[in-house]
Amino acid sequence: MLFFWSYLILIFFNFLIPTTDTDFGWHYRCGQEFISQGQLCVNNRFSYFLSQYQWGYSSFIYDVLLAGIYDWFGFWGVAVALAILVTLIVAIFYLAFRLSPTVFLSVGLFLLGSANIITIGFRPQVLSLLFFLFLLLLIKHLNSKRSRTIAINLIIICLLVLWTNSHPSFILGIGVYLLYSFWQVFKGQRLYLLMIFFGLCLPLINPLGVGVYTEIWHHYQTDLSKLIAEWTAPNRIMQGAMLVTYLTVFYVLIFKYKHRHELSIFYLVILSILLIIAFDAKRHVPLYWLLFFFILEHSEVLANALKHLKIPISLFNVSLISLLFFMALVNVQKLVPINNFKQWYCSHALVKLPYTQIEKYRKFKGNIFTMYEWGGYFIWQIPGSRVFVDGRMPAWITKSGKSPYTIYLEIIQAQPGWEKTLANYQTDLIFIKSGTFLDLELQENPRSQWLSRYHDSQVAIYQIKK
């Protein structure tokens, strides 16, 4: 147990990470408005493009959590929330397979493979990892001889309702549960016909009903891989690692353990689906690794492999905890100098922001055309204004059929018609990175209606002449 608690403490300090998510701002505003006014982020109040848009966004639980934590405990509270969440995932994984000698190695490798996504900060994607792990464990217990079938199924349905109101990835949970239910019906368990009905209908217990499914459909109709970095494919090394590990576990389970581990074959079907979507978008990579190592522990593949190779597992555990100790020291040293979170955030966010200049416009009221990645921060820090686009909007439907992000690109690249678009939407301020095509166009071919207010190597500000 000493090793276990030492492991958890080191995990906590390794993931004590302030958020660098560019969507933090609008998530916070959504949560704050629900807490203070009881309003959901359904009507578009933050942008002046598509200002009448009705958004199928029901993930208010995460937003309320985020706003409450930040208002009460500040940025340190948000950092601690991520650390607690990741530590909880690790603890649950360990307790589920505490008799396995390789459990620490498995969860350590899972975190290593998922670090690029998890370390962005306390986000609903990490919350979804916890829900996914709970679902896997509940299905594991359903398949045991002593399981209380009805009670566990009701817990799963409640979990799906909670997940639906926390993040759109709930669709994965519903898919996994329905697949398991159909499998049980095929085996003669007629009770699961009722569970299929509940699994489809009860997640509709959310403020938008079937609208949450519509929003997911919009996402998959839009090729987000051309618009958002997180939706692009992972690098070749990660793809190669996933493919090799998948083929290995596929071979072992199909040809070695097919009679001993029936449920592992079911998990393997889910893993096949996750491999496909993880190859397509790096945001799904943590889900793949979580299920992969879950299967390894459930079927004891990793333990048997190391035993066969006569490799001492203690060697891996000692090396792992030594590495975690060193990384925790480095991480804590980075946190100590932070005394102004907003300034730190602007210089460390996934896309850096000009903190000093934004502070000068905190009281600005009007329509601001700014960088897509800056939109969330402007929504948070300049509440009297509205932005053109932000991280909520890439899959929203427009009359032209173009993504709002595509229309934004046409303007920032100064493509023909950009002036007319900004004029039609009554833009008051252009607040963009210097050196963009739009900035160069306004410098080389000044417009009488756009007055330059500030310009340096990082930011360019132009204001409409009244």
Query: Is 383 within 8 Å of 404 (Cβ atoms)?
Result: no
**pTM, full prediction:** 0.90
Higher pLDDT, 2 or 452: 452
- Kindly report the average pLDDT of the chain as a whole number: 87
Q: Check pLDDT > 80 for residue 420.
A: yes
Q: Check pLDDT > 80 for residue 202.
A: no
Query: Is 26 within 8 Å of 376 (Cβ atoms)?
Result: yes
pLDDT, position 327: 86
Q: Check pLDDT > 80 for residue 136.
A: yes
What average pLDDT does the segment 168-193 reach?
84
Q: Check pLDDT > 90 for residue 267.
A: no
pLDDT, position 402: 86
Instruction: Give the largest Cα separation in the chain, rounded.
Output: 78
* 141-158 CB burial, b ≥16 within 10 A, e <16: ebeeeeeeeeebbebbbe
pLDDT, position 259: 53
Q: Which of 124-128, 130-134, 291-295, 363-367 has the lowest mean pLDDT?
A: 291-295
Q: Check pLDDT > 60 for residue 310.
A: no
Higher pLDDT, 236 or 312: 236
Q: pLDDT of 80-118, one tens digit each? A: 999 999 999 999 998 888 877 778 888 888 888 888 889
Q: Check pLDDT > 60 for residue 243.
A: yes
Q: Check pLDDT > 60 for residue 412.
A: yes
* Dihedral over alpha carbons 280, 285, 290, 293 (to 10 degrees): 80
Higher pLDDT, 465 or 437: 437
